[in-house]
Copies of this chain bind each other. A is one copy, B any other.
Amino acid sequence: MRTIDWDTDASAVVIVDQTRLPGCLEFVSLSDVDALVDAIRRLAVRGAPALGVAGALGVALAVVEAGRHRSADPVGHVRLRAEQVRASRPTAVNLGWGVDRALARLDGVDSFPEVIRAAIALIDEDIAVNRALSIRGADLLIELTGLPSLAIQTHCNAGGLACVEWGTALGVVRALHERGAVREVFADETRPLLQGSRITAFELSRMGVRHRVVVDGAGPTVIARGMVDAVVVGADRVCANGDVVNKVGTYPLALAAARAGIPFVVAAPESTIDDATARGDDVHIEVRAADEVTSMNGVANAPAGTDAWNPAFDVTPADLVTAIVTELRVVRPPS
């Protein structure tokens, strides 16, 4: 099952609408850039690697639009729409990376078919990249812990649904599970949007991995009580100094892992590494609407008028990160 794909017949992007999970596995066809940008903003498509592919396919949609509308300035149209895709979420570096991968092939109207081909090629590339980093991550965890079978704490969703098919942090779990080396996974529920209880639990159940959900505040206690052997998470951006930007609630797990002396491993493709950003403090952290926090399932959680601060991400300083695993290498900060 692919989270995001290209429908060649319809010249459209097809996604699993992740806001409907786990109640409903719904595929949605997005036939223009506006529909894709809306899907990115409302997190119907989410996860750093999937956003990379979405960025590239957004440029492909812009190319299709330019032809469909008989645009007077088709190349200008594609460039304009590409920037709208890039701006749809500010923190994930992969989104812009995907846009740029497709734009790199843009050289006049004659290049349009090649732009679309390059965008589509990222789909298979993402699957191969995630598989490679997952195997590398599984090897590393067995090496770091010296254990034949592990219990793992994770946060948010860095599984197949965050990517095209295979997953990063949950890809590592999948690779370990294929070796019979997963005892249990503890998944933080990941407020406010509950990607952990909705999506990670859904994926772990499909994989057949034993798992329990915990509230985010309990993740550090799972670690402190020795219930897990390692923490494995994905990343939305890795800075040049090794600081890791990931879903808010990741940083407390890193603090707890450091105190407990267990590995804190980040599984992320090379496209997540942003050498142009020196450190976490330099990253623009997306702050989302207060009502994601103050209401749930349409019911208010807080008195009317209560304000909330709702950052989507946090920064884990490099000194708390044991290793960053990509498809090409294992980086141990500081390095």
Known: A252-B255, A297-B299, A315-B224. Contact between A186 and B309, CB under 8 A?
yes
Stretch of A4-12, A158-166, A215-223 at the chain-chain interface: A215-223
Known: A194-B301, A255-B259, A296-B296. Contact between A307 and B215, CB under 8 A?
no
Name the interface residues of A200-231: CB closer than 8 Å to any CB of B: 201-202, 205, 211-222, 224
Q: Smallest CB–CB gap between A168 and chain B, Å?
A: 19
Q: A248 — which chain B residues lie within 8 A by C-beta?
A: 215, 217-218, 221
Q: Smallest CB–CB gap between A285 and chain B, Å?
A: 8
Q: Do B293 and A213 touch (CB < 8 A)?
A: yes
**What are the interface flags for A219-255 relative to B under an 8 Å C-beta threshold, 1 for contact and 0 otherwise?**
1111010000000000000000000000111111001
The verdict on A191 contacting chain B, using a C-beta distance below 8 Å, is: yes
Q: Do A297 and B297 touch (CB < 8 A)?
A: yes
**What are the interface flags for A15-29 relative to B under an 8 Å C-beta threshold, 1 for contact and 0 otherwise?**
000000011000000
Partner among B197, B220, B252, B259 whose Cβ is within 8 Å of the Cβ of A301: B197
Partner among B212, B218, B221, B303 whose Cβ is within 8 Å of the Cβ of A307: B212
- Bound Cα distance from A249 to B259, whole angstroms: 16
Name the interface residues of A23-57: CB closer than 8 Å to any CB of B: 23
- Bound Cα distance from A231 to B236, whole angstroms: 29
Q: A214 — which chain B residues lie within 8 A by C-beta?
A: 293, 308-310
Q: Smallest CB–CB gap between A277 and chain B, Å?
A: 17
Q: Smallest CB–CB gap between A225 and chain B, Å?
A: 9
The verdict on A289 contacting chain B, using a C-beta distance below 8 Å, is: no
With both beta carbons as reference points, the residue of chain B lying nearest to A222 in the complex is identified as B309
Name the interface residues of A166-200: CB closer than 8 Å to any CB of B: 186, 188-192, 194, 197-198
Q: Do A256 and B251 touch (CB < 8 A)?
A: yes
Q: Do A311 and B218 touch (CB < 8 A)?
A: yes
The verdict on A142 contacting chain B, using a C-beta distance below 8 Å, is: no
Q: Lowest 4 CB-CB distances: which A-B pairs, in order?
A: A217-B249, A252-B252, A191-B215, A255-B255
Extra contacts, 6 of them, besides A211-B307, A217-B314, A224-B251 (Cβ < 8 A), are: A194-B301, A198-B302, A215-B216, A220-B252, A221-B314, A255-B256
Q: What are 27 contact pairs spanning A and B, CB under 8 A?
A: A155-B217, A186-B309, A188-B217, A189-B301, A189-B302, A191-B215, A201-B303, A205-B303, A211-B306, A213-B293, A213-B294, A213-B302, A213-B308, A215-B293, A215-B310, A216-B249, A217-B217, A217-B249, A217-B314, A218-B309, A218-B311, A220-B252, A221-B315, A252-B252, A255-B256, A296-B296, A297-B299
